[in-house]
Structure 1
Amino acid sequence: MRKLAAALVGVLVAALPATAALAAAAKPDIAVTSAADKASYAEGETFTITVTVKNKSSVDAKHVHYTGGDSEGVDDVAYGELSSGFDLAAGATKTVKLTGKTNRVAWQVGRGYVAFELRADNGEANAADNITSVRLLVPGAFDDLGGYVFQGESYDAEWTPQTAGVPGVKVVATTADGKTRYAEAVTDAKGLFRLAHLPAGDVLLTFAAPAGWKVMAGENGEYDHTLAQVTADDSDEPRVFVPAKKVPVSSPSASPSPSSPSPSPSSSSSSPPLSPSSSPTSAGPGLPVTGDKTMLLVGAAAVALAVGIALMLVARRRRVRLQA
């Protein structure tokens, strides 16, 4: 009996991990996606968001409902069935809608948004995909955007009114994807720049520093560009602060020395130089050359000339004798 009891205890102990694993896996897996019914809205316009809820698990989801979220630039958000809740069978998909209106804030910043989370009463196997958000573009407002490019040794350097600026930095504002150019400016002696008449919303600022400076923009200072928010309000205060540090300036490449003139365009670096006694065969007769060989040739020519004259005189005397 003791052996049988021990065996039964062993079976139960061995089965506990498998039972726990089954219990842990017996949860629904809710995945949520959402989309607005229009690409953009006017201030005060009603929007409709379609929410798609899918239960990816083999377990039914009990009372799927809205548990919290956040929003900006919107009023009168009605969650409908997402608030009252509903059951969702294993592997099933359901679409529901929520509505609301954009407000003045959305017009000032160029967009509003709605973000929320759904859960089931019997748990959630993967909480990473049960949160969703929708961006609602509200174009129409414009304003200026100013900032400083200041001297700093690291990307997290802080600007103060006493911090020296970096002049001559070109700043270009484009759409967030960089495809449409809005405006450009150059920092003054204090490092201040101002970009005029930009649309409210996100803009991409790209910086081109003069020689000897490196802009440290972006989250970790590794880039020459950063995103900025344009807000239509009555404030003219600078909102963008980007550090830049001094870097070595690369020296220009050395120019040829005056004692070593560069070859003319018609010359070839692969052709060997001509020796004083040689000339190109295709260039016709060459110019006379000077030196010891020339004197020998002149002497030989003189001797030949003298011999010729002597032979001519002898032949002449012979003709005279024959005639006589």
Structure 2
Amino acid sequence: MDTIASCSALIDRFGRRVSYLRLSVTDRCDLRCSYCMPKGFKGFEEPGNWLRFEEITRVVAAFSRMGVGRVRLTGGEPLLRRGLPQLVSQLAALPEVQDISLSTNATQLQKHANSLRAAGVRRINVSLDSLDRACMEKITGRDSLAGIMAGLQAGKQAGFDPIKLNMVVMRGVNDHEIARMAQFCFDEGFILRLIEAMPMGDTGRNSQYQDIGPLREQLVRQFDLLPSAAELGGGPARYWETRDGKGKLGFISPISQHFCASCNRVRMAVDGTLYMCLGQEQKFELRPLLRAGIGDAELEQAIRAAIELKPERHEFNERRQQIVRFMSQTGG
């Protein structure tokens, strides 16, 4: 394997610097959230096509040499991938990787929180769409709330900071719970982020989309919130905070107020496919190159070629039917 010196930053055709890699380690999940994966879905990737830990580390090392310092582990549910702390340790040892975070549904977090924290994960995002047991069972397909709550407490005790709760807002499903969820997060020291459902696959298109703009105005008034200048992870959320600065709310509005002009990320699926945009089909497959013995210099060239495919913006509003893959297949 050849070695090379650090290279210049990854800049796409539209002048955006790519500094953030979202990395799926599995497409499996122990839940079936209604907006993410359909019930009875069987089209999972064969384990033989999953990138091995050493292959993932090579790809992340290549990205990091080109200025990508943030890595988020996603799925499916990433805690279903055996030996995940080992991968985290390998990534944390890369000198250019500055931040390793994790997106999880937290059902398995109670078992793994301490080992992940020790390996190098510092921040976690937890999917939690309701505080009502029956509602969560309807959304996730199983009685999941107690396990998630136990995972959240384990995450706090392990020292993850911040812990963000991601709530996909669905009209007529959980939109009546938003104020309650906000107060829960203020009380527990979590950061709530309200997210608009994206029309990915039939599951995403069938979720009850809710524009979060009016909800933001309502919450700003109710909790006397102020715009926040805090940079919390390099993502697209726009934050507001309580007057004492102790409570924060984030709003992610990919449909009603897209943030494509500042998009700084790409996603890699568990099989090594790079996806340039959630709302477009451009992709680049790295696994065949890795298993053919590609060198480091050629791997960086391949990644740069992939970045050239990154589109200017999604077309969720104009072409809602075009993305047939589910969110779980892309990497959250």
With the shorter chain as reference, the TM-score category is under 0.3
Tell me: higher relative CO, structure 1 or 2? Use CA pairs within 8 A at least 6 residues apart: 2
| Higher fraction of helix | 2
- With the length of structure 1 as denominator, give the TM-score of the two structures: 0.16
| Higher fraction of strand | 1
